[in-house]
Amino acid sequence: RFCFCFGNVNGAVPGEQVKKDENSRRGNWGNQIEFVLTSVGYAVGLGNVWRFPYLCYRNGGGAFMFPYFIMLVFCGIPLFFLELSFGQFTSLGCLGVWKVSPMFKGVGYGMMVVSTYIGIYYNVVICIAFYYFFMSMTNLLPWTYCNNPWNTPDCTGVIGTPRTNATFANVSAVVSGLTEIVNRTKRTSPSEEYWRNYVLNVSDGIGNFGEVRLPILGCLAVSWVVVFLCLIRGVKSSGKVVYFTATFPYVVLTILFIRGITLEGAVSGIKYYLTPQWEKILDAKVWGDAASQIFYSLGCAWGGLITMASYNKFHNNCFRDSIIISVTNCGTSVYAGFVIFSILGFMANHLGVDVSEVADHGPGLAFVAYPEALTLLPISPLWSLLFFFMLILLGLGTQFCLLETLVTAVVDEIGTDWIIKNKTYVTLGVAIVGFLLGVPLTTQAGIYWLLLMDNYAASFSLVVVSCIMCICIMYVYGHKNYFKDVEMMLGFPPPLFFRICWRYVSPFIITFILIFTVIQYKPITYNDYVYPRWSLVIGFAMALSSVICIPIYALFKIAVSEGSTFLERLKNSVKPDPDWGPALQEHRKGRYATAGPESVEVCPLKEKLKDEGKEKLKEKETEKKDEMGLTIPGSNGSTLNPTPSA
């Protein structure tokens, strides 16, 4: 039994085959590769493809890489390591970890609110990718020409249509004609009209919901069913799915990259993407964009990193994992830029315009600019299928973690054996609620609401949540206590660089991001549509709904804490909960041991044996007293007369 206790102390090692979970009640990853792939899938999302390349070319090309990687080193990786170690140490989700200082549990609720908002609209984006994927299963992509019922007279295709074959004799004439049109007025592409007039059938404003787009609603149902089935057994099932969902996007990216660089004009697109404009390094906006992109792309303060790490084994090297995942995430962003701009360079060359005329970001890149460029390629449906399949997988990888964050928070908070055994029903319930809340986003006004949620619900509120988390761990709980916790878990203290970043550098950068976000704020617009003031109020309300959880819960906790004065209640509300610390008794050493550090150093069994020994000694003493009493005259004394062997 002593050997058994020693054997279970160490966590998983890559390549080690472990059939039994260390935490049998809650479960663990099958192996560490599953955790790394899941975290990569979580961090590497749609923003890596449709936001980073655009930010890079807009902020000085290759010069943007310098502040980007500076922010990765001083903010991205330290925050990533902080959240992973936080969740792994306690084996609890984004609510349970705040036993470290119960007054700050509102931060966990704020994370849940943010993950709810993101999960709702993120799956709508995935469902649109599903729709485009299904529509690509044809001989001719439906957004190739301008001769469709949804097209307007302003539509101008990048290749000849049946109506223009008689007018233009050859491709060069088409190109020159289009160049003249582009120079004269802003063109409306068939892909843009397909996106606005057919797929979304966009209404005239955010208040006019119109009708539900049934094809999009059906794809939303498909998307939620896929997410639920992949999470039906929690990390046990999602850990297997990520072997495909987290790796295949790199296969598709490589295929598209090889195809892209072989096209005429690809080099000019890549040059536009990478050519450094060093004078922009002195622009504060460039540094702000770099810091914001690092912060948001890694998924900090969403609660997902804490949740995924909570299923690790206690002694897993999350320091190594944080570096691997963060670097992979940023490397993917850079790699995706080559894929995007090689194709856009080809399209700009075909139209005879500058790359800036065709470059876009967000949904405009994913569903308008890039699909239009794909129509110029031979066997265009094949490339379209690959591209949208890649978007689906990138989105699902993030969506898995968002849903698991909410489910784990609920299950950990209730904590009964019944809900742990029936976690599947919780997952189903959350998926159904997420689907119903996403239905309004499938209406004709859905795109307006989607962009509103993206710009407000998950913007500065994330920065506030992350900043308060750093303050709580480093200054309320105490940096020395946390450094000792990490050393107990990993076997070595956090490197000096990370200790400095956690205490000073990262909070400073987070504060800089917050100030930058406020200074650079501009009311949201969609193309030429200006959002009404009442919709902006709703946007700010969504942003504040996650932040307001923090002071509300703090006041509640202070009110119910013990103490006769406010200061006593405040002091008691920030003290760590008695249950704070490692989840398993075998890991509760040092100050977390219930009966002194030596009693837990070897195994909990040791203390049990000591107690049994004391009980046996007491029994023997009682027997001897009874024996002395029974030798009084009148007693036979035969029954309790001890034998020599006793």
Cα distance between residue 639 and residue 633, in whole Å: 15
Cα distance between residue 246 and residue 48, in whole Å: 14
CA-based angle 253:44:466, to the nearest 5? Answer: 160
DSSP string, 518-537: HHT----EETTEEPPHHHHH
Any residues with CB less than 8 A from the CB of 10 and at least 6 apart, and which?
313, 315
CA-based angle 37:38:40, to the nearest 5? Answer: 60
Cα distance between residue 150 and residue 129, in whole Å: 20
Q: Residue 454 sits in which domain range?
A: 32-148+188-560
In the chain, count H helices and then E strands.
Answer: 31, 2
Residue 41 assigned as binding residue:
yes
Alpha helices in 473-532 (DSSP H): 479-490, 496-500, 506-519
What's the alpha-carbon Rg for the chain, to the nearest Å?
A: 30
| 615 is a domain residue | no
Any idea what the CATH number is for the domain that residue 207 is in?
Answer: 1.20.1740
36 φ, ψ (degrees, to nearest 5) = -65, -45
Count other Cβ atoms within 10 Å, centred on residue 469.
27
pLDDT in tens, 125-138: 999 999 999 999 99
Q: How confident is the model at residue 359, as a pLDDT?
A: 74
- Model confidence at 596, pLDDT cuts 50, 70, 90, reads very low
Tell me: pLDDT of 646 over 90.
no
Tell me: pLDDT of 612 over 80.
no
| 228 is a domain residue | yes
- Model confidence at 364, pLDDT cuts 50, 70, 90, reads confident
Q: How confident is the model at residue 63, as a pLDDT?
A: 87
- Model confidence at 170, pLDDT cuts 50, 70, 90, reads very low
Q: How confident is the model at residue 349, as a pLDDT?
A: 87
Cα distance between residue 202 and residue 528, in whole Å: 13
Least confident of 117-126, 329-338, 460-469, 624-633: 624-633
Cα distance between residue 235 and residue 239, in whole Å: 5
What type of residue sits at position 222?
V
Residue 48 assigned as binding residue:
yes
Cβ–Cβ < 8 Å for 411, 423: yes
Q: Max Cα separation, the chain?
A: 133
pLDDT in tens, 383-395: 999 999 999 999 9
Q: How confident is the model at residue 165, as a pLDDT?
A: 38
Q: What's the average model confidence in pLDDT over 323-345?
A: 93
Cα distance between residue 123 and residue 224, in whole Å: 7
Cβ–Cβ < 8 Å for 128, 604: no
Q: What's the average model confidence in pLDDT over 630-639?
A: 38
Any residues with CB less than 8 A from the CB of 594 and at least 6 apart, and which?
588, 600
Better-predicted residue by pLDDT, 597 or 613: 613
Beta bridge partners of 212: 443
| 642 is a domain residue | no
Q: How confident is the model at residue 274, as a pLDDT?
A: 86
Cα distance between residue 282 and residue 296, in whole Å: 23
Residue 394 assigned as binding residue:
yes
Prediction pTM value: 0.83
pLDDT in tens, 97-125: 999 999 999 999 999 999 999 999 999 99
443 φ, ψ (degrees, to nearest 5) = -80, 180
Least confident of 14-23, 377-386, 439-448, 502-511: 14-23
- Closest by CA to 58, choosing from 337, 460, 363, is 337
Mind spelling out the 3-state secondary structure of 90-129? HCCCCCHHHHHCHHHHHHHHHHHHHHHHHHHHHHHHHHHH
Tell me: pLDDT of 174 over 80.
no
Cβ–Cβ < 8 Å for 223, 138: no
Q: What is the domain count for the chain?
A: 1
| 12 is a domain residue | no
| 411 is a domain residue | yes
Pairing type for strands 529-530 and 525-526 reads antiparallel
Cα distance between residue 362 and residue 526, in whole Å: 11
Cα distance between residue 589 and residue 501, in whole Å: 27
Q: What's the average model confidence in pLDDT over 537-565?
A: 94
Cα distance between residue 468 and residue 600, in whole Å: 34
Residue with tokens 């690092």: 294
Cα distance between residue 292 and residue 458, in whole Å: 12
171-184 vs 318-351: helix axis angle to the nearest 10? 100
| 176 is a domain residue | no
Residue with tokens 């609660």: 303
Helix/strand/coil for 234: coil
Helix/strand/coil for 164: coil
Q: What's the average model confidence in pLDDT over 570-598?
A: 83
pLDDT in tens, 58-81: 888 888 989 999 999 999 999 999
Q: What's the average model confidence in pLDDT over 251-267?
A: 92
